[in-house]
């Protein structure tokens, strides 16, 4: 199971600044289990965004948003709603955000911070990786994670080591992550995002709180909390 | 005269680099540095270049400073986290070292300890921010310093990168973060360099054009194939190939490049990579 938490709503509103129409993507995998991207949360997000005068063109909830093929086929089922949107808000872990970004040429925003991959893992990812940094930066980087796509995990752009779009580490096989980010930002008309100096990474957020080290325990506690009020 | 003073006086500045040894025998490094005395405005000391474990650049800079030379302390983010990097910057300042060149650093796989942990807690931009914060009396945790250092901060850029735009974007960020001068990756095409200089003109920051001394046609071909952002044109490779005296030809080409690019930038940075003894000859041939 992968544990994520919703980003503060103000952060999400900031991402959506200047955009009117939004398509929501939820996840029935781990995100639902940790109550950040299941149907209830997606509907709640829809309502909150509508209160902020955003138009929700539609939503879908995917069994494992980390799997690109599933994301692509689900989005095809909502094609006109997706096309009508300025951007997609993805309520899943970092892999789901990247998988969505990989299958559609639209701006994709993360709604969650990914905290921990542990316990019974339900993820089904392709080439996308999430470092569970607890402070997702995918909004700045066109839905491609600089921590995992860049070998050095750089946050402010490419180093001088990339040649022909390839990384100095394993240049035969490995793309320069920042080359991919640059190309995609350019395609989406978002190059200004690359001009912002990235905030210093708070590495302490990479250490999940002790109670999350065992996600099974966490799930049980979650269950108890829900049962208790009844 | 310090590097900063030389640049502010509008002098065409000259810097060259020396590499600390792998070990503690510092004689040759000091000999190389001695050759630069009176000829250059600053001597760069590389920080475990190409990720090969060596004597540290801070200690080597200190040795140069003791001998009255003007060191440029190269610092990379590869091996140290933000605590160590900030501490090293403070250490440099108390040893009288003010010129700091902030780099990301090569990946560990390029060197002789490919199994080492790559750190990269900071990157070149945030390292500049850290140095600037220290100058303003605070560290990255916003904690007050007891006495603050003063630096002349440098950074690097690759004018021959393709595409160039990501490099320009990052260069702009480096200026915003505190970079006061730039030394470039080697470039062998004066026209391309001139275009680059036009593109960065608005940044109003001094640029020292990078020159790597050629030793053979094979070396040029090797760089074309393996070194990011470096392109030696075929005509120069042929010149090297046909030259009987390769050493002389390499010096001649370097001097010609300096003369061709001198008018478009504020200085030159010579990387002789093991052939430091030829630096004075390059400067003589370039009329510097």
How many Å is the Cα radius of gyration of chain A?
17
Q: How far is A203 from chain B (nearest CA, A)?
A: 8
- Taking the Cβ of residue A190 and every Cβ of chain B, the question of whether any pair is shorter than 8 Å is answered with no
The overall average pLDDT reported for chain A is: 89
Tell me: pLDDT of A53 over 80.
Answer: yes
- Taking the Cβ of residue B161 and every Cβ of chain A, the question of whether any pair is shorter than 8 Å is answered with yes
| Planar angle of CA B175, A160, A157, nearest 5 degrees | 60
Q: If pLDDT is split at 50, 70 and 90, which confidence band does A228 have?
A: low
Question: Could you tell me what percent of chain A has a pLDDT over 90?
Answer: 71
pLDDT in the model for residue A4: 85
Q: Is residue A66 domain-shared with residue A78, that is, in the same domain? A: yes
Q: Based on the structure, what is the number of domains in chain A?
A: 2
Residues of the domain holding A146: 140-202
Tell me: pLDDT of A81 over 90.
Answer: yes
Tell me: pLDDT of B57 over 90.
Answer: yes
| For range A168-186, the mean pLDDT | 96
Q: CA-to-CA distance for B137 and B142, rounded, in angstroms? A: 9
Cβ(B105)–Cβ(B78) under 8 Å? yes
Q: If pLDDT is split at 50, 70 and 90, which confidence band does B259 have?
A: very high
> Residue B63: how many CB atoms within 10 A of its CB?
18
Q: Is B74 exposed, middle or buried (0-12, 13-18, 19+ CB in 10 A)?
A: buried
Q: CA-to-CA distance for A88 and A78, rounded, in angstroms? A: 12
Q: Is residue A101 domain-shared with residue A170, that is, in the same domain? A: no
- Taking the Cβ of residue B90 and every Cβ of chain A, the question of whether any pair is shorter than 8 Å is answered with no
More confident residue, A28 or A87: A87
Helices marked H in chain A — which ranges? 9-15, 30-33, 39-51, 68-76, 79-84, 94-103, 146-149, 177-187, 192-195, 210-213, 215-227
- Residues counted in chain A: 230
Cβ(B78)–Cβ(B54) under 8 Å? no
- Taking the Cβ of residue B10 and every Cβ of chain A, the question of whether any pair is shorter than 8 Å is answered with no
Residue with tokens 């020292």: B208
- HSE toward the beta carbon, residue B228, CA cutoff 13 A: 25
pLDDT in the model for residue A230: 45
Tell me: pLDDT of A1 over 60.
Answer: no
More confident residue, A99 or A217: A99
- Taking the Cβ of residue A199 and every Cβ of chain B, the question of whether any pair is shorter than 8 Å is answered with no
pLDDT in the model for residue A212: 63
**Contacts with B177 from chain A: Cβ below 8 Å:** 197
Final residue of a structural domain among A137, A156, A190:
A137
Residue in A with minimal Cα distance to B228: A163
Q: CA-to-CA distance for B144 and B11, rounded, in angstroms? A: 37
pLDDT in the model for residue A33: 72
Chain B contacts in chain A segment 87-146 (CB below 8 A)? none
Q: CA-to-CA distance for B56 and B53, rounded, in angstroms? A: 9
> Using CB atoms, which residue from A153, A158, A164 is nearest to B170?
A158
Structure confidence by residue, pLDDT tens digits, B202-256: 999 999 999 999 999 999 999 999 999 999 999 999 999 999 999 999 999 999 9
Q: Is residue A122 domain-shared with residue A148, that is, in the same domain? A: no
First to last CA, chain A: 26
Q: CA-to-CA distance for B191 and B207, rounded, in angstroms? A: 16
In a mutational test of the B interface, the residue from A147, A152, A180 whose CB has the highest number of chain B CBs within 10 Å is A152
Q: Per residue, what are the HEC states of B176-194? A: HHCCCEEEEEECCCHHHHH
In a mutational test of the A interface, the residue from B170, B178, B212, B271 whose CB has the highest number of chain A CBs within 10 Å is B170
B21: nearest Cα among B286, B281, B277, B274: B274
Question: Could you tell me what percent of chain B has a pLDDT over 70?
Answer: 100
Q: If pLDDT is split at 50, 70 and 90, which confidence band does A122 have?
A: low
pLDDT in the model for residue A120: 46
- Residues counted in chain B: 288
Measured between alpha carbons, how far is residue B46 from residues B61, B72, B113 in Å? 9, 9, 17
Contact B120 A162 (CB under 8 A): no
Residue in B with minimal Cα distance to A178: B166
DSSP state of A138: T
More confident residue, B85 or A206: B85
| For range A144-165, the mean pLDDT | 96
Measured between alpha carbons, how far is residue A20 from residues A80, A149, A193 in Å? 16, 30, 19
Q: Is residue A76 domain-shared with residue A18, that is, in the same domain? A: yes
| For range B169-189, the mean pLDDT | 98
Strands A87-90 vs A21-27: parallel, antiparallel or unpaired: parallel
Contact A200 B169 (CB under 8 A): no
In a domain, A222, yes or no: no
The overall average pLDDT reported for chain B is: 97
Measured between alpha carbons, how far is residue B113 from residues A83, B110, B123, B228 in Å? 50, 8, 20, 21
Residue in B with minimal Cα distance to A163: B228
In a domain, A214, yes or no: no
Q: How far is B185 from chain A (nearest CA, A)?
A: 8
Q: How far is A132 from chain B (nearest CA, A)?
A: 16
Q: Is residue A125 domain-shared with residue A181, that is, in the same domain? A: no
If you classify domain B3-286 with CATH, what class do you get?
Answer: alpha beta
**Contacts with A160 from chain B: Cβ below 8 Å:** 104, 156-158, 161, 167, 185, 228-229
Contact A163 B163 (CB under 8 A): no
Cβ(B104)–Cβ(B75) under 8 Å? no
Q: Is residue A110 domain-shared with residue A160, that is, in the same domain? A: no
Structure confidence by residue, pLDDT tens digits, A125-145: 778 888 889 999 999 999 999
Q: Is residue A150 domain-shared with residue A123, that is, in the same domain? A: no
Q: If pLDDT is split at 50, 70 and 90, which confidence band does A210 have?
A: low
> Residue B177: how many CB atoms within 10 A of its CB?
21
**Contacts with B126 from chain A: Cβ below 8 Å:** 155-156, 197-198, 200
Q: CA-to-CA distance for B138 and B74, rounded, in angstroms? A: 22
Q: Is residue A101 domain-shared with residue A192, that is, in the same domain? A: no
**Contacts with A199 from chain B: Cβ below 8 Å:** none
Residue in B with minimal Cα distance to A168: B107
> Residue B183: how many CB atoms within 10 A of its CB?
25
Measured between alpha carbons, how far is residue A69 from residues A38, A103, A104, A125, A129 in Å? 19, 8, 12, 10, 16
B180: nearest Cα among B148, B155, B200, B157: B155
Tell me: pLDDT of A178 over 80.
Answer: yes
CATH number at residue A83: 3.40.50.11860
Cβ(A88)–Cβ(A108) under 8 Å? yes
| For range B175-197, the mean pLDDT | 98
- Taking the Cβ of residue A218 and every Cβ of chain B, the question of whether any pair is shorter than 8 Å is answered with no
> Using CB atoms, which residue from B106, B120, B177 is nearest to A168?
B106
Q: Is residue A67 domain-shared with residue A24, that is, in the same domain? A: yes
| For range B60-65, the mean pLDDT | 98
Instruction: Give SS3 for A168.
Output: coil
Q: Is residue A128 domain-shared with residue A164, that is, in the same domain? A: no
A57-71, B193-207, B255-269: which range is least confident on average? A57-71
Q: Is residue A131 domain-shared with residue A158, that is, in the same domain? A: no
Contact B107 A168 (CB under 8 A): yes
Instruction: Give SS3 for A225.
Output: helix
Contact A161 B156 (CB under 8 A): no
**Contacts with A203 from chain B: Cβ below 8 Å:** 121
Structure confidence by residue, pLDDT tens digits, B102-160: 999 999 999 999 999 999 999 999 999 999 999 999 999 999 999 999 999 999 999 99
- Taking the Cβ of residue A173 and every Cβ of chain B, the question of whether any pair is shorter than 8 Å is answered with no
Q: Is residue A156 domain-shared with residue A67, that is, in the same domain? A: no
């Amino acid at each position: 199971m992968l544990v994520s938490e919703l980003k503060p709503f103000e952060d999400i509103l900031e991402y959506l600044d200047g955009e009117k129409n939004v398509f929501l993507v939820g996840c029935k995998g781990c995100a639902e289990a940790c109550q950040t991207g299941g149907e209830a949360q997606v509907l709640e997000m829809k309502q909150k965004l509508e209160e902020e005068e955003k138009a929700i063109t539609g939503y879908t909830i995917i069994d494992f948003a980390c799997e690109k093929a599933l994301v692509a086929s689900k989005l095809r089922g909502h094609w006109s709603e997706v096309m009508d949107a300025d951007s997609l808000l993805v309520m899943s872990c970092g892999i789901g955000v990247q998988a969505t970004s990989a299958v559609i040429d639209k701006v994709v925003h993360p709604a969650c911070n990914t905290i921990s991959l542990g316990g019974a893992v339900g993820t089904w990812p392709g080439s996308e990786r999430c470092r569970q940094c607890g402070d997702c930066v995918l909004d700045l980087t066109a839905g491609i994670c600089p921590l995992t796509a860049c070998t050095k995990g750089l946050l402010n752009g490419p180093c001088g080591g990339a040649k022909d779009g390839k990384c100095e580490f394993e240049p035969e096989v490995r793309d320069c992550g920042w080359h991919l980010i640059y190309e995609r930002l350019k395609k989406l008309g978002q190059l200004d995002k690359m001009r912002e100096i990235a905030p210093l990474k708070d590495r302490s957020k990479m250490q999940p709180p002790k109670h999350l080290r065992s996600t099974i325990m966490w799930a049980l506690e979650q269950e108890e909390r829900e049962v208790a009020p009844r | 005269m310090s590097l900063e003073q030389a640049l502010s006086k509008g002098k065409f500045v000259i810097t060259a680099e020396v590499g600390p040894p792998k070990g503690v025998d510092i004689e040759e490094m000091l000999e190389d540095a001695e050759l630069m005395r009176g000829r250059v405005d600053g001597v760069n000391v590389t920080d475990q270049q190409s990720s090969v474990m060596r004597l540290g650049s801070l200690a080597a800079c200190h040795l140069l400073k003791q001998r009255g030379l003007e060191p440029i302390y190269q610092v990379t983010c590869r091996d140290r986290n933000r605590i160590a990097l900030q501490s090293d910057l403070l250490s440099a300042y108390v040893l009288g070292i003010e010129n700091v060149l902030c780099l990301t650093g090569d990946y560990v796989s390029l060197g002789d300890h490919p199994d080492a942990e790559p750190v990269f807690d900071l990157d070149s931009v945030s390292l500049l921010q850290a140095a600037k914060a220290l100058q303003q009396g605070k560290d990255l945790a916003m904690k007050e310093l007891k006495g603050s250092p003063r630096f002349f901060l440098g950074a690097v850029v690759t004018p021959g990168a393709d595409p160039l735009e990501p490099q320009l974007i990052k260069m702009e960020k480096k200026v915003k973060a505190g970079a006061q001068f730039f030394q470039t990756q080697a470039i062998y095409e004066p026209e391309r360099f001139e275009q680059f200089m036009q593109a960065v003109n608005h940044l109003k920051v001094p640029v020292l054009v990078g020159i790597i001394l050629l030793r053979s046609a094979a070396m040029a071909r090797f760089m074309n194939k393996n070194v990011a952002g470096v392109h030696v044109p075929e005509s120069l490779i042929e010149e090297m190939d046909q030259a009987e005296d390769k050493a002389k030809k390499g010096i001649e080409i370097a001097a010609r490049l300096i003369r061709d690019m001198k008018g478009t930038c504020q200085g030159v940075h010579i990387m002789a990579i093991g052939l430091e003894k030829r630096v004075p000859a390059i400067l003589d041939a370039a009329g510097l």
